A and B are shown apart, each in its own frame.
Chain A
């Protein structure tokens, strides 16, 4: 009988030396394709739409109203005084601070009104200033009351609730004249 010699096989192996290269290639693709862009912006809540015939006019006392008017030339009026946009924050802060201890219906209302031809960038700059004023006051209050910075407070804590209650951000966007009929 002829003996068939079994050939001795080496152990089967998958070549793994190029695995790292393949993985790196994939990694590179995802690195390039990834956009980790966080949406940032100025948040706002619009008022509910009420048909014109049901609209009521609620008078707001001058005491608690800060009216910001921006016309198409970029001039800004704050309570009928001409002001530069970077000054808005400074001028609003004392007014917000003076109303911290007042009840909710006496807090400051900031009303922003523009023309239809006003530049959007200017509007954002003004809004930014107003928000900035509120944030600064909140930060100062938080430091003074709790000894913590605003960013260190927990989102659901009582502290932040108190701050939100004491210093609510009320910004009212008035409709430009042309829309009012």
Chain B
């Protein structure tokens, strides 16, 4: 007796016609969500870790100050001196009244430089700050 394999009558290929559409959809999603890095970080730093951390919801309000391992201070995209921080941050505060300053400080730095920055920020009346930390697991 001869057995014959049952075959489906339909075509055995995956329809690829809509593949570009799907990919374009994904592409659009990533294009919309991407924020290309605007500034080059010129200082080297490793963030400390903490557990009780919160997210900054509104990224537009955030302005960064970096303090590196060697105590260098970077605001915006260039290294600055401590005395100039106040002027720069005051200008920022005028253009963006509820600015949040995110301090990205290397974990081995001293409190002295952090306090100095904080004093400058207080003088520039940028009072909302955020110590940038990673999540401790």
Contact = CB atoms under 8 A, between A and B. Distances in A.
B130 A118 contact: no
A36 interface: yes
B90 to A, nearest CB: 11
Given A40-B55, A44-B130, A27 B30 contact: yes
B86 to A, nearest CB: 10
Contacts of A179: 115, 119
Interface in B89-137: 100, 102-103, 105-112, 114-115, 118-119, 121-123, 125-136
Interface string A35-61: 110111111111111000000000000
Interface in A1-48: 16, 19-20, 23-24, 26-27, 30-31, 33-36, 38-48
Interface of A is mostly: mixed
Contact count band on A? 35 or more
Interface string A89-125: 0000000000000000000000000111111110111
Interface in B17-64: 19-20, 23-24, 26-27, 30-31, 33-37, 48, 50-56, 59, 62
Nearest to B135: A40
B125 A49 contact: yes
24 contacts: A20-B23, A31-B30, A35-B35, A38-B55, A40-B54, A41-B54, A41-B103, A42-B53, A42-B131, A43-B54, A45-B129, A46-B121, A46-B122, A46-B127, A46-B128, A49-B122, A49-B123, A119-B108, A120-B105, A120-B109, A120-B111, A124-B131, A132-B51, A175-B119
Given A30-B27, A120-B110, A176-B111, 12 more contacts: A23-B20, A24-B23, A34-B30, A36-B33, A41-B54, A45-B129, A120-B107, A121-B108, A123-B111, A124-B107, A127-B131, A178-B112
Interface of A: 16, 19-20, 23-24, 26-27, 30-31, 33-36, 38-49, 114-121, 123-125, 127-129, 131-132, 134-135, 173, 175-176, 178-179
